[in-house]
Amino acid sequence: MVLKVSKRGQVPPFIVMDVMREAALRVASGKDVVHLEVGQPGGRPPRAVLEAAKLALEDESETLGYTLALGHQGLRERIARFYKDGHKIDLEADRVVVTTGSSGAFLLAFLAAFEAGDRVALAAPGYPAYRNILTALGCEVVTIPVDGATHFHPTPAHLEALDRPVDGLIVASPSNPTGSMLSPHALKALAEWCHVKGVRLVSDEIYHGIVYGEPAATALGFSDSAIVVNSFSKYYALTGWRLGWMVVPPELVRSVECLAQNLTIAPPTLSQISAMAVFDATSELDARVAGYAANRALLLDRLPALGFDKLAPADGAFYLYADIGHLTNDSPQFCKRILAECGVALTPGTDFDPLRGHLSVRFSLAGPMSDMEEAVRRLARIPLQSIRS
Ligand SMILES: Cc1ncc(COP(=O)(O)O)c(C=O)c1O
Protein backbone atom coordinates (compact mmCIF):
# COMPACT_ATOMS: atom_id res chain seq x y z
CA MET A 1 0.00 0.00 0.00
CA VAL A 2 1.45 3.38 -0.99
CA LEU A 3 0.48 5.95 1.58
CA LYS A 4 -0.28 9.55 0.83
CA VAL A 5 2.35 12.28 1.03
CA SER A 6 0.71 15.68 1.37
CA LYS A 7 1.08 18.10 -1.52
CA ARG A 8 1.32 21.14 0.75
CA GLY A 9 4.39 19.64 2.41
CA GLN A 10 6.20 19.45 -0.90
CA VAL A 11 7.86 22.84 -0.78
CA PRO A 12 11.06 23.51 -2.70
CA PRO A 13 14.35 22.91 -0.89
CA PHE A 14 16.31 25.75 0.64
CA ILE A 15 18.95 25.63 -2.10
CA VAL A 16 21.75 27.08 0.03
CA MET A 17 21.47 23.93 2.17
CA ASP A 18 22.05 21.85 -0.95
CA VAL A 19 25.15 23.95 -1.75
CA MET A 20 26.36 23.34 1.81
CA ARG A 21 25.88 19.59 1.33
CA GLU A 22 27.93 19.65 -1.89
CA ALA A 23 30.61 21.70 -0.16
CA ALA A 24 30.70 19.11 2.66
CA LEU A 25 31.13 16.30 0.09
CA ARG A 26 34.07 18.18 -1.42
CA VAL A 27 35.64 18.52 2.03
CA ALA A 28 35.06 14.81 2.71
CA SER A 29 36.95 14.02 -0.49
CA GLY A 30 40.00 15.82 0.89
CA LYS A 31 39.59 19.16 -0.89
CA ASP A 32 38.96 22.48 0.79
CA VAL A 33 36.12 24.99 0.44
CA VAL A 34 35.93 28.73 0.99
CA HIS A 35 32.44 29.37 2.29
CA LEU A 36 30.71 32.39 0.81
CA GLU A 37 27.34 30.64 0.71
CA VAL A 38 26.34 30.56 4.36
CA GLY A 39 24.37 33.45 5.82
CA GLN A 40 25.42 33.18 9.43
CA PRO A 41 27.91 34.98 11.66
CA GLY A 42 31.07 32.97 12.30
CA GLY A 43 33.02 32.65 15.53
CA ARG A 44 31.87 32.13 19.09
CA PRO A 45 28.68 33.58 20.59
CA PRO A 46 29.06 36.90 22.44
CA ARG A 47 30.97 36.46 25.72
CA ALA A 48 28.22 37.95 27.89
CA VAL A 49 25.78 35.33 26.61
CA LEU A 50 28.16 32.47 27.34
CA GLU A 51 28.67 33.85 30.86
CA ALA A 52 24.92 34.14 31.41
CA ALA A 53 24.40 30.58 30.14
CA LYS A 54 27.12 29.29 32.48
CA LEU A 55 25.48 31.04 35.45
CA ALA A 56 22.06 29.65 34.56
CA LEU A 57 23.46 26.12 34.27
CA GLU A 58 25.19 26.38 37.65
CA ASP A 59 22.22 28.01 39.43
CA GLU A 60 20.62 25.24 41.50
CA SER A 61 17.39 27.23 41.83
CA GLU A 62 16.95 27.52 38.07
CA THR A 63 14.85 24.60 36.78
CA LEU A 64 15.23 25.48 33.10
CA GLY A 65 11.72 24.15 32.56
CA TYR A 66 9.22 25.58 30.10
CA THR A 67 8.64 29.32 30.13
CA LEU A 68 5.23 30.74 29.24
CA ALA A 69 4.36 30.29 25.57
CA LEU A 70 4.84 33.98 24.79
CA GLY A 71 8.29 33.83 26.34
CA HIS A 72 10.30 34.65 29.46
CA GLN A 73 8.82 37.79 31.00
CA GLY A 74 12.24 39.34 31.68
CA LEU A 75 13.26 38.88 28.06
CA ARG A 76 9.96 40.27 26.76
CA GLU A 77 10.49 43.35 28.91
CA ARG A 78 14.11 43.68 27.77
CA ILE A 79 12.96 43.52 24.13
CA ALA A 80 10.35 46.22 24.79
CA ARG A 81 13.14 48.36 26.27
CA PHE A 82 15.19 47.81 23.09
CA TYR A 83 12.49 49.70 21.15
CA LYS A 84 12.50 52.49 23.73
CA ASP A 85 16.31 52.81 23.75
CA GLY A 86 16.90 52.30 20.04
CA HIS A 87 13.78 53.75 18.41
CA LYS A 88 12.14 55.92 21.10
CA ILE A 89 9.00 53.79 20.86
CA ASP A 90 6.97 53.00 23.98
CA LEU A 91 5.91 49.40 23.70
CA GLU A 92 3.92 47.21 26.08
CA ALA A 93 5.91 44.02 26.77
CA ASP A 94 2.54 42.23 26.39
CA ARG A 95 2.84 42.68 22.62
CA VAL A 96 6.28 41.02 22.47
CA VAL A 97 6.36 37.33 21.61
CA VAL A 98 9.59 35.36 21.96
CA THR A 99 9.89 32.69 19.26
CA THR A 100 12.12 29.87 18.08
CA GLY A 101 14.12 32.02 15.68
CA SER A 102 12.36 34.39 13.34
CA SER A 103 11.47 31.21 11.43
CA GLY A 104 9.17 30.26 14.31
CA ALA A 105 7.77 33.80 14.28
CA PHE A 106 6.79 33.52 10.61
CA LEU A 107 4.84 30.36 11.22
CA LEU A 108 2.95 31.91 14.13
CA ALA A 109 2.44 35.24 12.37
CA PHE A 110 1.19 33.73 9.12
CA LEU A 111 -1.16 31.34 10.93
CA ALA A 112 -2.52 34.12 13.13
CA ALA A 113 -2.93 36.69 10.36
CA PHE A 114 -3.84 34.77 7.20
CA GLU A 115 -6.45 32.22 6.19
CA ALA A 116 -5.71 29.43 3.71
CA GLY A 117 -6.41 30.97 0.31
CA ASP A 118 -5.41 34.51 1.37
CA ARG A 119 -3.18 36.34 -1.07
CA VAL A 120 0.13 37.50 0.35
CA ALA A 121 2.54 39.65 -1.64
CA LEU A 122 6.30 39.56 -1.38
CA ALA A 123 9.27 40.75 -3.39
CA ALA A 124 11.48 38.63 -5.61
CA PRO A 125 14.37 38.42 -5.02
CA GLY A 126 13.64 37.72 -1.37
CA TYR A 127 14.14 35.23 1.44
CA PRO A 128 12.73 31.88 0.22
CA ALA A 129 11.13 30.66 3.45
CA TYR A 130 8.38 33.32 3.34
CA ARG A 131 7.14 31.87 0.07
CA ASN A 132 7.55 28.26 1.14
CA ILE A 133 5.90 28.62 4.57
CA LEU A 134 2.97 30.54 3.04
CA THR A 135 2.59 27.87 0.35
CA ALA A 136 2.62 25.07 2.94
CA LEU A 137 -0.13 26.94 4.80
CA GLY A 138 -2.27 27.12 1.69
CA CYS A 139 -1.86 30.85 1.08
CA GLU A 140 -1.49 32.22 -2.42
CA VAL A 141 1.90 33.88 -2.90
CA VAL A 142 1.77 37.00 -5.07
CA THR A 143 5.27 37.68 -6.37
CA ILE A 144 6.31 41.26 -7.02
CA PRO A 145 9.45 41.30 -9.19
CA VAL A 146 11.66 44.16 -7.99
CA ASP A 147 14.92 45.66 -9.24
CA GLY A 148 17.11 48.73 -8.93
CA ALA A 149 14.30 50.99 -10.14
CA THR A 150 12.64 50.75 -6.70
CA HIS A 151 15.79 49.90 -4.74
CA PHE A 152 14.81 46.19 -4.79
CA HIS A 153 11.68 46.77 -2.68
CA PRO A 154 7.96 46.80 -3.40
CA THR A 155 6.15 50.15 -3.37
CA PRO A 156 2.50 51.15 -2.96
CA ALA A 157 2.47 51.61 -6.76
CA HIS A 158 3.36 47.92 -7.21
CA LEU A 159 0.50 46.97 -4.90
CA GLU A 160 -1.97 49.29 -6.61
CA ALA A 161 -1.05 47.73 -9.94
CA LEU A 162 -1.95 44.15 -8.89
CA ASP A 163 -4.93 42.67 -10.70
CA ARG A 164 -6.57 41.65 -7.41
CA PRO A 165 -6.16 42.96 -3.84
CA VAL A 166 -3.90 41.16 -1.40
CA ASP A 167 -4.42 40.31 2.27
CA GLY A 168 -0.82 40.64 3.32
CA LEU A 169 2.58 42.00 2.40
CA ILE A 170 5.97 40.76 3.58
CA VAL A 171 8.95 43.13 3.46
CA ALA A 172 12.52 42.77 4.73
CA SER A 173 14.86 45.70 5.22
CA PRO A 174 17.80 45.19 4.98
CA SER A 175 16.84 42.43 2.61
CA ASN A 176 18.30 39.02 1.99
CA PRO A 177 19.77 38.57 -0.67
CA THR A 178 20.20 42.16 -1.90
CA GLY A 179 21.01 43.98 1.36
CA SER A 180 18.91 46.88 0.08
CA MET A 181 17.09 48.94 2.68
CA LEU A 182 13.78 50.76 2.69
CA SER A 183 14.31 54.41 3.64
CA PRO A 184 12.19 55.51 6.62
CA HIS A 185 10.07 57.42 4.10
CA ALA A 186 9.55 54.36 1.86
CA LEU A 187 8.75 52.07 4.82
CA LYS A 188 6.28 54.64 6.19
CA ALA A 189 4.57 54.87 2.81
CA LEU A 190 4.20 51.08 2.64
CA ALA A 191 3.07 50.76 6.27
CA GLU A 192 0.45 53.50 5.89
CA TRP A 193 -0.77 52.13 2.57
CA CYS A 194 -1.18 48.67 4.11
CA HIS A 195 -2.98 50.03 7.19
CA VAL A 196 -5.44 52.07 5.13
CA LYS A 197 -6.12 49.21 2.70
CA GLY A 198 -6.54 46.58 5.41
CA VAL A 199 -3.45 44.67 4.28
CA ARG A 200 -1.47 43.00 7.07
CA LEU A 201 2.16 44.10 6.82
CA VAL A 202 4.82 41.70 8.11
CA SER A 203 8.15 43.49 8.46
CA ASP A 204 11.18 41.20 8.74
CA GLU A 205 13.78 43.25 10.62
CA ILE A 206 16.26 40.42 11.23
CA TYR A 207 19.20 42.32 9.68
CA HIS A 208 18.70 45.45 11.78
CA GLY A 209 22.01 46.42 13.35
CA ILE A 210 24.01 45.21 10.34
CA VAL A 211 23.95 48.40 8.29
CA TYR A 212 26.64 50.41 6.50
CA GLY A 213 24.98 53.83 6.54
CA GLU A 214 21.91 55.16 8.28
CA PRO A 215 20.24 52.91 10.89
CA ALA A 216 17.21 50.90 9.77
CA ALA A 217 13.72 52.16 10.62
CA THR A 218 11.21 49.81 12.24
CA ALA A 219 7.68 49.41 10.92
CA LEU A 220 6.58 49.67 14.54
CA GLY A 221 7.18 53.41 14.28
CA PHE A 222 4.66 53.77 11.46
CA SER A 223 1.91 51.23 12.02
CA ASP A 224 0.03 49.63 14.89
CA SER A 225 -1.37 46.92 12.64
CA ALA A 226 1.99 45.63 11.33
CA ILE A 227 3.67 42.50 12.65
CA VAL A 228 7.36 43.17 13.27
CA VAL A 229 9.70 40.17 13.25
CA ASN A 230 13.27 40.15 14.52
CA SER A 231 15.83 37.58 15.61
CA PHE A 232 18.91 36.90 17.70
CA SER A 233 20.48 35.09 14.73
CA LYS A 234 22.23 37.84 12.77
CA TYR A 235 23.40 41.04 14.54
CA TYR A 236 23.31 39.21 17.89
CA ALA A 237 25.21 36.23 16.45
CA LEU A 238 23.16 33.57 18.30
CA THR A 239 22.15 31.58 15.24
CA GLY A 240 22.01 28.12 16.77
CA TRP A 241 20.31 29.27 19.96
CA ARG A 242 17.08 29.38 17.93
CA LEU A 243 15.64 32.54 19.32
CA GLY A 244 13.75 35.36 17.71
CA TRP A 245 10.87 37.64 18.55
CA MET A 246 7.97 39.47 17.10
CA VAL A 247 5.84 42.43 18.09
CA VAL A 248 2.22 41.80 17.27
CA PRO A 249 -0.84 44.08 17.28
CA PRO A 250 -2.98 43.61 20.43
CA GLU A 251 -5.75 41.82 18.50
CA LEU A 252 -3.33 39.02 17.54
CA VAL A 253 -1.70 38.40 20.94
CA ARG A 254 -4.14 35.79 22.26
CA SER A 255 -4.29 33.93 18.98
CA VAL A 256 -0.48 33.83 18.75
CA GLU A 257 -0.33 32.67 22.37
CA CYS A 258 -2.70 29.75 21.76
CA LEU A 259 -0.89 28.80 18.54
CA ALA A 260 2.49 28.91 20.33
CA GLN A 261 1.17 26.81 23.24
CA ASN A 262 0.11 24.14 20.78
CA LEU A 263 2.93 24.30 18.24
CA THR A 264 6.03 24.64 20.42
CA ILE A 265 4.85 25.12 24.05
CA ALA A 266 7.67 27.65 24.55
CA PRO A 267 10.94 28.83 23.04
CA PRO A 268 14.16 27.26 24.47
CA THR A 269 14.57 28.39 28.08
CA LEU A 270 18.37 28.40 28.37
CA SER A 271 18.57 30.51 25.21
CA GLN A 272 16.00 32.97 26.54
CA ILE A 273 17.69 33.44 29.90
CA SER A 274 21.11 33.84 28.28
CA ALA A 275 19.96 36.16 25.49
CA MET A 276 18.96 38.90 27.93
CA ALA A 277 22.67 39.70 28.30
CA VAL A 278 23.22 40.21 24.59
CA PHE A 279 21.57 43.62 24.51
CA ASP A 280 24.47 44.96 26.56
CA ALA A 281 27.14 43.39 24.33
CA THR A 282 26.94 46.17 21.74
CA SER A 283 30.67 46.91 21.54
CA GLU A 284 31.46 43.25 20.78
CA LEU A 285 28.57 43.09 18.29
CA ASP A 286 29.49 46.36 16.61
CA ALA A 287 33.05 45.08 16.18
CA ARG A 288 31.57 42.22 14.18
CA VAL A 289 29.66 44.68 12.02
CA ALA A 290 32.93 46.55 11.42
CA GLY A 291 34.35 43.24 10.19
CA TYR A 292 31.41 42.78 7.79
CA ALA A 293 31.93 46.35 6.57
CA ALA A 294 35.60 45.62 5.83
CA ASN A 295 34.65 42.42 3.98
CA ARG A 296 32.02 44.31 2.02
CA ALA A 297 34.54 47.01 1.04
CA LEU A 298 37.01 44.35 -0.08
CA LEU A 299 34.48 42.50 -2.22
CA LEU A 300 33.04 45.73 -3.67
CA ASP A 301 36.58 46.66 -4.64
CA ARG A 302 37.62 43.32 -6.14
CA LEU A 303 34.51 41.63 -7.57
CA PRO A 304 33.81 44.07 -10.45
CA ALA A 305 37.18 43.34 -12.08
CA LEU A 306 36.34 39.62 -11.88
CA GLY A 307 33.13 40.10 -13.87
CA PHE A 308 30.72 40.60 -10.97
CA ASP A 309 30.08 44.24 -11.70
CA LYS A 310 26.29 44.46 -11.46
CA LEU A 311 25.73 44.41 -7.72
CA ALA A 312 22.61 45.28 -5.73
CA PRO A 313 23.05 48.15 -3.20
CA ALA A 314 23.98 46.14 -0.04
CA ASP A 315 23.04 48.95 2.34
CA GLY A 316 22.95 46.35 5.11
CA ALA A 317 22.95 42.59 5.93
CA PHE A 318 26.02 40.55 4.92
CA TYR A 319 25.44 39.73 1.28
CA LEU A 320 26.27 40.95 -2.19
CA TYR A 321 23.80 39.97 -4.90
CA ALA A 322 25.24 40.00 -8.40
CA ASP A 323 23.49 39.94 -11.74
CA ILE A 324 25.51 37.44 -13.78
CA GLY A 325 23.24 37.35 -16.85
CA HIS A 326 26.29 38.17 -19.01
CA LEU A 327 28.07 35.05 -17.69
CA THR A 328 25.33 32.43 -17.54
CA ASN A 329 21.64 31.72 -17.72
CA ASP A 330 21.97 28.83 -15.29
CA SER A 331 23.22 30.08 -11.92
CA PRO A 332 22.92 26.69 -10.11
CA GLN A 333 25.19 25.12 -12.73
CA PHE A 334 27.50 28.17 -12.58
CA CYS A 335 27.82 27.79 -8.78
CA LYS A 336 28.46 24.03 -9.13
CA ARG A 337 31.26 24.68 -11.62
CA ILE A 338 32.83 27.37 -9.44
CA LEU A 339 32.73 25.03 -6.45
CA ALA A 340 34.25 22.19 -8.49
CA GLU A 341 36.92 24.30 -10.19
CA CYS A 342 38.15 26.51 -7.38
CA GLY A 343 36.42 25.44 -4.18
CA VAL A 344 34.46 28.65 -3.63
CA ALA A 345 30.88 28.03 -2.47
CA LEU A 346 28.30 30.61 -3.60
CA THR A 347 24.50 30.54 -3.54
CA PRO A 348 22.61 30.63 -6.84
CA GLY A 349 19.92 33.28 -7.17
CA THR A 350 17.29 30.58 -7.79
CA ASP A 351 17.01 30.34 -4.01
CA PHE A 352 15.63 33.88 -3.85
CA ASP A 353 13.89 34.52 -7.13
CA PRO A 354 11.90 31.85 -8.99
CA LEU A 355 11.59 34.15 -12.01
CA ARG A 356 15.06 35.60 -12.59
CA GLY A 357 17.27 33.83 -10.06
CA HIS A 358 18.94 31.79 -12.80
CA LEU A 359 20.72 35.03 -13.72
CA SER A 360 22.06 35.90 -10.25
CA VAL A 361 24.37 34.73 -7.53
CA ARG A 362 24.72 35.67 -3.85
CA PHE A 363 28.02 36.16 -2.01
CA SER A 364 27.86 35.98 1.78
CA LEU A 365 30.46 38.16 3.46
CA ALA A 366 29.73 36.94 6.99
CA GLY A 367 32.95 34.91 7.23
CA PRO A 368 36.48 36.05 8.16
CA MET A 369 38.30 38.50 5.88
CA SER A 370 40.89 35.82 5.07
CA ASP A 371 38.06 33.86 3.38
CA MET A 372 37.08 36.88 1.28
CA GLU A 373 40.71 37.35 0.22
CA GLU A 374 41.13 33.69 -0.63
CA ALA A 375 37.83 33.62 -2.56
CA VAL A 376 38.80 36.54 -4.80
CA ARG A 377 42.28 35.02 -5.32
CA ARG A 378 40.70 31.76 -6.46
CA LEU A 379 38.00 33.39 -8.59
CA ALA A 380 40.72 35.45 -10.31
CA ARG A 381 42.52 32.25 -11.31
CA ILE A 382 39.61 30.84 -13.36
CA PRO A 383 38.32 32.67 -16.40
CA LEU A 384 34.63 33.07 -15.51
CA GLN A 385 33.74 33.28 -19.19
CA SER A 386 34.82 29.59 -19.41
CA ILE A 387 32.04 28.73 -16.91
CA ARG A 388 29.53 30.22 -19.33
CA SER A 389 26.67 27.78 -19.83
C1 LIG B 1 15.68 37.54 5.80
C2 LIG B 1 15.71 36.41 6.76
N3 LIG B 1 14.67 36.22 7.59
C4 LIG B 1 14.65 35.19 8.45
C5 LIG B 1 15.69 34.27 8.54
C6 LIG B 1 15.58 33.13 9.52
O7 LIG B 1 16.45 33.25 10.58
P8 LIG B 1 16.23 32.67 12.05
O9 LIG B 1 15.13 31.67 12.01
O10 LIG B 1 17.55 32.06 12.42
O11 LIG B 1 15.88 33.84 12.92
C12 LIG B 1 16.80 34.43 7.71
C13 LIG B 1 17.92 33.48 7.75
O14 LIG B 1 18.85 33.52 6.99
C15 LIG B 1 16.81 35.53 6.79
O16 LIG B 1 17.84 35.75 5.96
Domains and CATH numbers, the chain: 7-45+283-381 (3.40.640.10), 60-280 (3.40.640.10)
| pLDDT of 139 higher than 80 | yes
Q: How many CA atoms lie within 13 A of 176 on its CB side?
A: 25
| 76: amino acid identity, one letter | R
CB 177 within 8 A of CB 349: yes
Q: Find the residues whose C-beta lies inside 6 A of ligand 1.
A: 39, 101-103, 127, 172, 176, 204, 206, 231, 233, 239, 244
Residues 103-113, mean pLDDT to the nearest whole number: 98
Identify the band that residue 14 occupies on the pLDDT scale cut at 50, 70 and 90: confident
| 368: amino acid identity, one letter | P
Residue 201 forms beta bridges with which residues? 169
Mutate-to-test residue for ligand 1 from 37, 38, 97, 103, highest number of ligand atoms within 8 A of CB = 103
CA angle, 10 then 13 then 16, to 5°: 170
Question: Closest residue (by CA) to atom 14 of ligand 1?
Answer: 39
| pLDDT of 386 higher than 80 | no
Distance between Cα 75 and ligand 1 center (Å): 20
Identify the band that residue 388 occupies on the pLDDT scale cut at 50, 70 and 90: low
Lowest-confidence region among 40-44, 102-106, 219-223, 373-377: 40-44
What's the rounded Cα separation, in Å, for the pair 73 and 61?
17
Its pTM stands at 0.96
Mutate-to-test residue for ligand 1 from 132, 234, 241, 353, highest number of ligand atoms within 8 A of CB = 234
251-269: b (≥16 Cβ within 10 Å) or e: ebbeebbebbeeebebbbb
| pLDDT of 52 higher than 90 | yes
| pLDDT of 359 higher than 70 | yes
Lowest-confidence region among 2-11, 217-226, 284-293: 2-11
Quick one: pLDDT at residue 17? 79
